[in-house]
Amino acid sequence: MVNRGKSDRKWKLRLLILLAFFSAGCSGQGEKPKDERFYEDDVTSEKEEYIVVGFAQIGSESDYRIANSASFRETFCEENGYYLLFEDGQQKQENQIKALRNFILQEVDYIVLDPVVETGWDEVLQEAKAAGIPVILSDRSVTVEDEGLYTCWVGSDFEEEGRKAGRWLEDYLKSEGREEEEIRLVTLQGTLGSSAQIGRMNGFAEVLRLHDRWNMLEYASGDFTQSKGQEVMARFLDTYPDIDVVISENDNMTFGAIEAIEEAGKTCGPKGEIIMISFDAVSEASFTAMKEGKLHADVECNPFLAPKVDEIIGRLERGETVEKIQYVEEQCFDAFMDLDAIMEQRKY
């Protein structure tokens, strides 16, 4: 790997600042681009000490994503010694690859990648490695030939999330005296090929395999969005008139599914007919759905990953080694808990 000392940063910052200056129009008229302030400063000042981080975000498809982006913007700020280049991939891998190549061209100090899907990253990660730029994966992960292409991954144990949903359903059916019943399930999947989709599906499938009476009628993707969740749920309801359980791989699809169920004149949640299990538990809306009796259980997916990434960068800057996989803490909530008390104590 190329040795990337702090002295490199002086000219890199100049380059970034110049790029920002020219892209904002360098006529000298109108409002100055924010980054020009750095250019005007004496480069021997503290500002040259900023750590430049390029963050390739997936998009803004869900409440989770909004919270995750906010976490990065808040943590990777100038007050904390960072200069953040934030790129929204609009849920397209090609956009994220382009963003990574731009980060490499701009010689950022670190790349943080939240990959929309797991495969197809080998080439661009090799380019980052050849340029000596450490890549930290955040939230979702990649499947690559050589695991040395990235420094570490910070995110959720998606398989465990899926298992938690399965175990919750097991316990619930038992508590209702329904263990011997035939149970018909459908799954609203997230973006196909993403770690969150693959992990949750596989984790839930481990529990599903233990139950001969659980019949998964269909898996179909709603791409983690509310509108597609609603569309797919409406089709499920048309196709299968007797659904007992919906596994929805994120809350936004769940909100869409609830609308579709209500539009079809049906009900879900503890106050209704269909058992509804979801993932994320990020927003107030998720807790409201449980409190209103429309959602049974919600497996948490923690979006506040930036502080951990910050800690990792701090360690790398000090020349320390970091663990390859770092999971964040997560819980499972259900409509039968004291949700008001939980929300009061929650940090988010």
Q: Which residues lie near ligand AHR (CB under 6 A)?
A: 61-62, 64-65, 139-140, 196, 224, 250, 279-280, 301
Q: Which one, 50 or 96, has the nearer CB to ligand AHR?
A: 96
Lookup: tokens for 231: 């569309």
Q: Which one, 109 or 280, has the nearer CB to ligand AHR?
A: 280
Cα 234 to Cα 236: distance, rounded to the nearest angstrom: 5
Q: Which one, 173 or 302, has the nearer CB to ligand AHR?
A: 302
For the bound state, the minimum distance from the C-beta of residue 17 to ligand AHR, rounded and expressed in Å, comes to 33
For the bound state, the minimum distance from the C-beta of residue 232 to ligand AHR, rounded and expressed in Å, comes to 15
Task: Give the β-pairing of 297-300 and 245-248.
Answer: unpaired
For the bound state, the minimum distance from the C-beta of residue 216 to ligand AHR, rounded and expressed in Å, comes to 20
Q: Which one, 146 or 284, has the nearer CB to ligand AHR?
A: 284
Helix (H, G, I), strand (E, B) or coil at 75: helix
Q: Which one, 134 or 222, has the nearer CB to ligand AHR?
A: 222
Question: For 116-150, b where at least 16 C-beta lie within 10 A, e where not — what string?
Answer: bbbebbeebbebbbebebbbbbbbbbbebeeeebb
Cα 7 to Cα 50: distance, rounded to the nearest angstrom: 11
Burial status of residue 177 (CB atoms within 10 A of its CB: 0-12, 13-18, 19 or more): exposed
Q: Which one, 64 or 236, has the nearer CB to ligand AHR?
A: 64
Helix (H, G, I), strand (E, B) or coil at 346: coil
Q: 249 vs 64, 136, 178, 253, 281, CA distance in Å?
A: 12, 25, 24, 7, 11
Lookup: tokens for 117: 């899907």
